[in-house]
Amino acid sequence: MLANGTVPERTPLSVLLYHAAMTRSQSLSSFADELDIGAISLRQFILGKTQRPRQKTLEIIGEALDLPVEEVRRRMSYIPEAAPGFGDWLDAHMKGKFSRAKLTRETKISDGALRNYLSGQTLPDSDQAQRLAEVLEVEPLEVARVIVANEVIQKGGEVAPPGSSADEAANEVSADAIEEAAPALGAATLSAALLGASSASHDESQILGLWRQLHPQARRATLSYIAMLLAER
């Protein structure tokens, strides 16, 4: 959340969870212990790899973020926007203000850790990210957004184009999926499918959100099946 307590409309669940750990000045492991959902489970949520969350887990997360469960589910389908590499981002915010030695002193983060952040070798945990946000005087949610986007990319996940809304990203993914399936479809069917993608209903958006969480092999299999069904209509 921002300083005024509001939750930005298009912020993915992954970023909100990381931000929540930051504002508590907790590492992700400590935050997971507080929530009693397990560190691995929390990291799966942050990476957007959770596919069948338990209702109880969603309720716990909703309570921690002050969101209803349906809102938690909706935000699970959002993917983070692309962001600069964290090393470049950090270097840009240090320029003219902080040497590495000064930032080490003020954040109490080791010089070796900062060196690794700047070189892109590692990313800060949420408690360290909060210290960086405070010292650099950057909105914590912005720091969370950049770190989560970098983490997702490093783990082979997907991010949305900069400045795009979650719904726009869903439509782009939908259109890409249809284009991959195009060889099995006729031109008329493809056009109709694309029209449907640009005006997806709530149910369709949920399906697209689940599709984005599938492994690439599972996506290809799903596309082939959809193409087969469309071809048989």
The residue ranges of every structural domain in the chain are 166-231
Q: Indicate the pLDDT class of residue 2, thresholds 50, 70 and 90.
A: very low
pLDDT of 95 reads: 95
Q: Indicate the pLDDT class of residue 175, thresholds 50, 70 and 90.
A: very low
pLDDT of 194 reads: 43
Highest mean pLDDT, choosing among 131-140, 163-172, 181-190 = 131-140
pLDDT of 219 reads: 64
pLDDT of 203 reads: 64
pLDDT of 9 reads: 79
pLDDT of 52 reads: 87
Q: What is the pLDDT of residues 96-140, one digit of tens each?
A: 999 999 999 999 999 999 999 999 999 999 999 999 999 999 999
Single pTM value for the model = 0.70
> b vs e for 19-30, b when ≥16 Cβ sit within 10 Å of the residue's Cβ?
bbbbeeebbbbb
pLDDT of 75 reads: 94
